[in-house]
Amino acid sequence: MTGIEQYEIQGRVVELPAVVRDASSGSVMYMVDRAAAQKLIPDAFEAVEAAPGQTQLTLVIVDYRDNDLGDYDEAGIVFFVKPTGRPEAEVGSYIYKLPVNQSFTCEAGCRIWGFPKSVEDIDFVYADGSATCSLTMDGRHALTLTVPRGGDGETPDEQAVGYTMIEGIPHSNVFTRGGRGEQTVPGGAGVVLELGDHPLADELRSLGLPDAAPLLSAWSEHMTGSFGASTKL
């Protein structure tokens, strides 16, 4: 016995932790109504109150180049939660939607971690000072997000927790993230969010986007990380 957790996905073996060796990622954080956000979150988790009646929402875009799950693009809608009724638990990320543009990472993400992945059309466009990600779902425009790009910061791999649902059962998983060529920009300078006519865009509108002012944006030119095993709560 090797003690290594393995999964066979589409004829390929995935060993945990799954490693990200190089990717570019951007994110924009907003403050939104907590009650409205909770409607999109399973009852097993509670949105963390970051200010009276409000919680944080992060839109994430990732261009994976060297990853155990392949070379693909991804867009995500992320809330910060705790397991319901467990105020002592660690705050973790709950991903509401995680569209990708490759079938292998979609199946692996759903089966191994319970990530809510679906295969969609995603397009990245880079400029000297920005990156733009456009997401089309079911042939309809969902969103286009532009974030400022640049920076010379560097962070070591740091550990965090994520919460997911696998076959209706809440789980937690530990992941790491670090990077170089990074920057964080307070406020909404350089951020442009356009919502389309897909139902996902309407859900974001129900949270006050795109009118809500961003708290900050972040960019990593070379992100690294890993995703460990999932554990039942």
Which domains are assigned to the chain?
Answer: 23-232 (2.40.400.10)
Average pLDDT over residues 104-130: 97
- pLDDT value of residue 218: 98
Q: How many angstroms separate the CA atoms of 155 and 57, rounded?
A: 22
Which DSSP letter does residue 69 get?
T
Average pLDDT over residues 152-168: 95
- pLDDT value of residue 106: 97
pLDDT per position as a tens digit, 184-232: 999 999 999 999 999 999 999 999 999 999 999 999 999 999 999 999 9
Average pLDDT over residues 95-124: 97
Q: 132 is written with which tokens?
A: 């733009």
- The mean predicted confidence, pLDDT, of the chain is 96
pTM: 0.95
Q: 230 is written with which tokens?
A: 């999932």
Confidence of residue 13 (pLDDT cuts 50, 70, 90): very high
Average pLDDT over residues 84-100: 96
Q: Nearest Cα to 153, choosing from 77, 73, 219? A: 219
| pLDDT tops 90 at residue 140 | yes
| pLDDT tops 70 at residue 3 | no
Q: How many angstroms separate the CA atoms of 75 and 100, rounded?
A: 7
| pLDDT tops 50 at residue 1 | no
CA dihedral of 36, 41, 47, 51, whole degrees rounded to 10: -20
* Residue 3: count of CB within 10 angstroms of its CB: 4
Name residue 2's beta-bridge partners: none
Q: How many angstroms separate the CA atoms of 175 and 226, rounded?
A: 6
Q: How many angstroms separate the CA atoms of 15 and 228, rounded?
A: 9
pLDDT per position as a tens digit, 42-54: 999 999 999 999 9
Q: How many percent of the chain have pLDDT more than 90?
A: 98
